[in-house]
Amino acid sequence: MNNEFSAKNLKTKRLERAVEVSAQMFVRDGIEAVKMTDIADECGIGVATLYRYFGTKTGITIAAMTHLWKQLREMFSDIFESEVFLSQSGIKQLTDLMKMFVVMYEAHPGFMRLLGEFDLLLLSEKVPKEQLREYDRSILNFYSVFEKSYVAGIADGTVRDNIDVRLFYGSFAHALLELGKKLTQGEILPSDDFTYAKYELEMIIEAGVCYLRKD
For residue 97, give the CATH number of its domain.
1.10.357.10
Q: What is the 3-state secondary structure (H, E, C) of the chain?
A: CCCCCCHHHHHHHHHHHHHHHHHHHHHHHCCCCCCHHHHHHHHCCCHHHHHHHHCCHHHHHHHHHHHHHHHHHHHHHHHHCCHHHHCCCHHHHHHHHHHHHHHHHHHCHHHHHHHHHHHHHHHHHCCCHHHHHHHHHHCCCCHHHHHHHHHHHHHHCCECCCCCHHHHHHHHHHHHHHHHHHHHHCCCCCCCCCCCHHHHHHHHHHHHHHHHECC
Query: Considering the domain boundaries, does residue 2 fall inside one?
Result: no
Question: Which conformational region is residue 141 in: left (phi greater than 0), alpha (psi within -120 to 50 degrees), or beta?
Answer: beta
With CA atoms as reference, report the closest residue to 118 among 177, 172, 202: 177
Tell me the β-bridge partners of 204: none
Query: Considering the domain boundaries, does residue 150 fall inside one?
Result: yes
Query: Considering the domain boundaries, does residue 174 fall inside one?
Result: yes
Number of domains in the chain: 1
Query: Considering the domain boundaries, does residue 172 fall inside one?
Result: yes
Query: Considering the domain boundaries, does residue 164 fall inside one?
Result: yes
Query: Considering the domain boundaries, does residue 148 fall inside one?
Result: yes
Query: Considering the domain boundaries, does residue 106 fall inside one?
Result: yes
Q: Quick one: CA dihedral 97, 120, 23, 55, positive or negative?
A: positive
Query: What's the CA gap between 103 and 145, in Å, rounded?
Result: 17
pLDDT tens, N- to C-terminus, the chain (215 residues) = 444 444 455 568 888 999 999 999 999 999 999 999 999 999 888 899 899 889 999 999 999 999 999 888 888 888 888 999 999 999 999 999 999 989 888 888 888 889 999 999 999 999 999 999 989 888 877 888 899 999 999 999 999 999 999 999 999 989 998 898 888 888 888 988 888 888 999 999 999 999 999 98
> Which domain does 123 fall in, by range?
7-212
pLDDT tens digits for range 19-73: 999 999 999 999 999 999 999 999 888 899 899 889 999 999 999 999 999 888 8
Query: Considering the domain boundaries, does residue 36 fall inside one?
Result: yes
